[in-house]
Chains A and B, each alone.
Chain A
């Protein structure tokens, strides 16, 4: 009985997998994102995907060269799943390029596999510093990224923070991502000869940060760096502790969901890494379009903008590629030019030794002001 089953495995899986793959004329773009599970994942994944989808829509409306088919899978922020899905996209769906995913750990899990297989990856919205850096010296590197880079937002924040405040505290979550961010913060501060007055952490699924904020209060921190993925939690105990430090942190703090939960009054003055200047008309128009397109499901301008730009870059590469195959798309990606990005991504995002959409000079600090994230001047 078991023989039949293991023999039939190939047949069954082929059958199972053939559902969903459509006609061969379409050009497929593979997308792996965290689309189910806790909001700390899905808010990022869905927002980025919304941007990609709008980019494809715009491309087709303008009569793009190819008929595009997005093949979207949910990796549930699980590396085992993500690796399997990436192989499926490469081997089964035969996509020439993949965009994804939220969890930096997952990208680190499948990036080496894609590099080895020679299929280009445009990573995002994962933000761990070392994603493209570890492959950039390989020629050619297949790993690109259109997202925030942790180091850049931290550097900007520390420049501003050490200039403005004397006592700085840090609250971060215990996920590896946040732990590494905490490490980068501490290294950055060391270079500036500043010591954190308190460092506290919390599991990603906690519902209360009172003990942690109490520690901050006792240490007298004027600025609390918030690198916990449940961005709204830090604000909750403030009024009962009667302690209102300035909050600064991950670009996630710019989510409109955080604004809704925390309230305009409480979030006023919060600073975060940013790559979308809301003062620009282009940004305002984009947000307006996203709102009509997705209604209440739209919640995160900067992530959606980067998703849109990642989509634009990939589509442009498909248009300019000599051949629609992984190698051709990779080469085209490296030389894409003339992108009218929504985010701070430059016209020519990539080069042979630069696989990041956003470089240090494109990242700036945003601040919540009257329910809007605007450029922080310092």
Chain B
């Protein structure tokens, strides 16, 4: 393999890995504070991609598009928590209620998919680029061609995750999330508004889906059922990282994206199998992910 091709595959893996990282960070933050997550995270991403596509095609300026998509998705995150997750609290004690969120959030995902097909049709669609005149805007990096939008995705994902990291460890609100994660009861005693924090994490998760949706539209084609693949891969990535910290998620995502790109090159017939094997093997060797702490539940 030539060096240029190596860079080519690496960059294309990094771009997808960056999207996985953003999506998975959304799963991570919700899981951190509530031990639940949005199984429709990928569908939120899909909806964001469609919304931004529709607005861009309608001639709305890019920055305004971003603001609108972020606001709409934030509202959706709030709605998800309010109507599909919070009501489950009263059934905690019921047999098996602990996994109900998988199905309620999936129900919401199905509704979103259907709404999109009713609004925008069942076909794949083309989403215009954000900052380039056309979709073929290529720059050369170490002899490999790469789309400006792909670079944008990588840079934006890194920036967002670093910002996120800072938010989590440097701000009062971030520490509140960790406190809630440690113990909601203790957090409440410390004067933290637990309910508000829980709403906040789902809004944040949704906003992350919005960012990835806006970014991913121009580098892939959007279609109403693309979400599940992103959810599953983000889930795999978050498990790889161990649901432990956003940095672990980032490392997991990059590993997964690059592994995917190279395994498709080496043996394309089973290109999607190898990353899964990697995840499975890692879960066997390190049952709580790369950076997760093994917890024995001695009380």
Q: Which residues of A contact B (CB under 8 A)?
A: 36-39, 42-43, 46, 174, 200-203, 205-208, 210-212, 214-215, 218, 230, 232-233, 236-237, 239-242, 257, 260-261, 263, 266, 296-297, 299
Contacts and interface: CB of A to CB of B under 8 A. Distances in A.
Contact of A211 (B144, B219, B264): B264
Among all A-B residue pairs, the 3 with the closest Cβ atoms: A240-B145, A211-B265, A211-B264
Contacts of B121: 296-297
Contact of A257 (B123, B135, B144): B123
A43 B219 CA distance: 22
Interface in B99-131: 117, 121-126
Contact of A239 (B5, B136, B264, B271): B136
Interface string B53-87: 00000000000000000000000000000000000
Contact of B8 (A205, A214, A239): A214
B186 interface: no
Contact of A261 (B126, B146, B147, B224): B126
A239 B122 contact: no
A242 B268 contact: no
**Which of B138, B146, B229, B265 has the most CB atoms of chain A within a 10 A radius of its CB?**
B265
A242 B144 CA distance: 10
Given A214-B5, A230-B124, A208 B268 contact: no
Nearest to A266: B136
Contacts of B122: 36, 39, 42-43, 46
A308 to B, nearest CB: 20
A233 B261 contact: no
Interface in B240-299: 261-262, 264-265, 268-269, 271-272
A174 B271 CA distance: 10
Contacts of B9: 210-211, 214
B12 interface: yes
Contacts, number: 97
Given A211-B261, A211-B265, A232-B124, 5 more contacts: A206-B271, A211-B268, A214-B8, A214-B265, A236-B221
B112 to A, nearest CB: 14
Given A46-B122, A211-B9, A214-B8, A38 B145 contact: no
Contacts of A37: 225
Contacts of B223: 38-39
A201 to B, nearest CB: 5
A207 B145 contact: no
B226 interface: yes
B269 A261 contact: no
B199 interface: no
B220 interface: yes
Interface string B196-228: 000000000000000000000001110111100
A38 B265 contact: no
Contacts of A38: 223, 225
B194 interface: no
A43 B123 contact: yes
A108 to B, nearest CB: 22
Contacts of A263: 134-135
Contacts of B136: 239, 266
Contacts of B144: 240
B16 interface: yes
Given A174-B269, A210-B12, A212-B264, A239 B145 contact: yes
A200 B268 contact: yes
11 contacts: A36-B117, A205-B226, A205-B229, A208-B16, A214-B9, A230-B124, A240-B138, A240-B144, A242-B138, A257-B123, A263-B135
A42 B229 contact: no
**Which of B146, B220, B268 has the most CB atoms of chain A within a 10 A radius of its CB?**
B268
A122 to B, nearest CB: 23
Contacts of A210: 8-9, 12, 261
A175 to B, nearest CB: 12
B223 to A, nearest CB: 5
A202 B270 CA distance: 8
Contact of B271 (A43, A46, A202, A232): A202
A204 B135 CA distance: 23
Contact of A215 (B138, B224, B265): B265
B124 A261 contact: yes
Nearest to A203: B272
A280 B237 CA distance: 53
Contacts of A211: 9, 12, 261-262, 264-265, 268, 271
Nearest to A243: B145
B146 A202 contact: no
Nearest to A38: B225
A206 B13 CA distance: 13
B124 A257 contact: yes
Contacts of B146: 240
Nearest to B124: A39
A39 B123 contact: yes
Contacts of A215: 265, 268
Nearest to B15: A208
A202 B260 CA distance: 11
Contacts of A201: 268-269
B271 A203 contact: yes
A297 B120 CA distance: 9
B18 to A, nearest CB: 13
Contacts of B147: 240
A38 B126 CA distance: 15
A230 B268 contact: no
A323 to B, nearest CB: 38
Nearest to A238: B136
A42 B219 CA distance: 23
Nearest to A240: B145
B264 A202 contact: yes
A218 B8 CA distance: 13
Contacts of A46: 122
B136 to A, nearest CB: 4
Contact of B221 (A36, A174, A200, A230): A230
